[in-house]
Amino acid sequence: MTAAHADAAISRRVRRLETLLEERGVIAGAALDEVIDAFMSEASPANGARVTARAWTDPAFRARLLDDGTAAVAELGFAAGGVQPQRLRVVENTADTHNVIVCTLCSCYPIRLLGPSPSWYKSEAYRSRVVREPRSVLAEFGLHLPPETRITVWDSTSETRYMVLPRRPQNTDGLSEEELAALVSRNALIGTAAI
């Protein structure tokens, strides 16, 4: 089954579920649309960038973020999950370790912090290959890591979402949180890019 066929099958199932919920009076179609629209209007990689910039400038926040990502992002007014609550785990890139996230089963992803997931993240090719050959996949994104860098792949689930805390670029000590946040890309928060 191609990715387009898989997406179409999922879309049909989602629409069927929506129809059943509406027919049984569980939720009105307009109310469901309002919930989805409100959720998506607050979903942006700028949120994850803001979290990252705070972690780079506030060591106590960084420690809380790495210890309990869900609670730490809530301090900034963000939820880790979507319609249902999920746990957020933040993994930090260091000089000798690089992290990358994937969801091998579907495309679980912290939408509120990273915005809508890119099409490649949902693709079967990315989901299967990044686990088996992460260094090659990252090279295809233009990220060439030294051979001694350990790469850890984190597999998201319906209960736990992951976000990468990228390494802070050198020579950025004088930048404000806002300026630092502007340096952070969605791909860096997934781990397929460096800053």
Q: Which residues are catalytic?
A: 103, 106-108
The sign of the CA dihedral 35, 127, 190, 117 is: negative
Q: How far apart are CA 195 and CA 186, in angstroms?
A: 11
CA of residue 32 relative to chain centroid, distance: 23
Q: What DSSP character marks residue 169?
A: P
169, two tokens: 């670029």
Nearest to 83 by CA among 63, 102, 108, 60: 108
Amino acid at 117: S
